[in-house]
Amino acid sequence: MRIISLLGSPHGLKGNTGRLLSIVLAGAEAEGAKVEVEILKGDTVLPCLGCDICHKKGYCAQKDRFEPLRESIAAADGVVLASPNYIFNVSAQLKAFMDRCCGVIHCMSFWGKYGASVVTSGGGDEEPIAEYMNHFLLTTGAVPVGAVSARMSEMPEGGFTDKVEEKARELGRRLVSAWRASEVPQPVQEQRQNFRERMQALITYRGPEWPYEYAYWQEQLKAE
Site string (92-111) toward ligand FMN, x via CB under 6 A: --------------------
Neighbour-count burial for 40-55, b at 16+ CB within 10 Å, e otherwise: beeebbbebeeeeebb
Which residue in the set 4, 6, 16, 171 belongs to the binding site for ligand FMN (CB under 6 A)? 16
Question: Can residue 149 be called a binding residue for ligand FMN (CB under 6 A)?
Answer: no
- CB count within 10 Å of CB 21 equals 30
**CB 87, min distance to ligand FMN, A:** 4
In sequence order, what are the residues at sequence separation of 6 or more whose Cβ sits closer than 8 angstroms to the Cβ of residue 210? 52, 55, 56, 106, 203
CB 80 within 8 A of CB 3: yes
Nearest to 116 by CA among 95, 99, 92, 133: 133
CB 174 within 8 A of CB 24: no
Question: Can residue 159 be called a binding residue for ligand FMN (CB under 6 A)?
Answer: no
Q: Which is nearer to ligand FMN, 85 or 134 (CB)?
A: 85
Report which DSSP code applies to 46.
P
Amino acid identity for residue 184 in this structure: V
Judged by CB under 6 A, which stretch of 24-32, 48-56, 121-129, 169-177 contacts ligand FMN?
121-129
Judged by CB under 6 A, which stretch of 8-16, 141-149, 164-172, 211-219 contacts ligand FMN?
8-16
Q: Which is nearer to ligand FMN, 85 or 117 (CB)?
A: 85
Which residue in the set 1, 3, 5, 18 belongs to the binding site for ligand FMN (CB under 6 A)? 18
Q: Which is nearer to ligand FMN, 11 or 135 (CB)?
A: 11
Nearest to 120 by CA among 219, 217, 23: 23
Question: Can residue 156 be called a binding residue for ligand FMN (CB under 6 A)?
Answer: no
Site string (59-88) toward ligand FMN, x via CB under 6 A: -------------------------xxxxx
Question: Can residue 152 be called a binding residue for ligand FMN (CB under 6 A)?
Answer: yes
Q: Total binding residues for ligand FMN by CB under 6 A?
A: 18
Which residue in the set 47, 112, 124, 159 belongs to the binding site for ligand FMN (CB under 6 A)? 124
Per DSSP, the residues of 150-182 read EEGGGS-TTS--HHHHHHHHHHHHHHHHHHHTT
CB 219 within 8 A of CB 64: no
Interacting residues toward ligand FMN by CB under 6 A: 9, 11, 15-18, 84-88, 120-125, 152
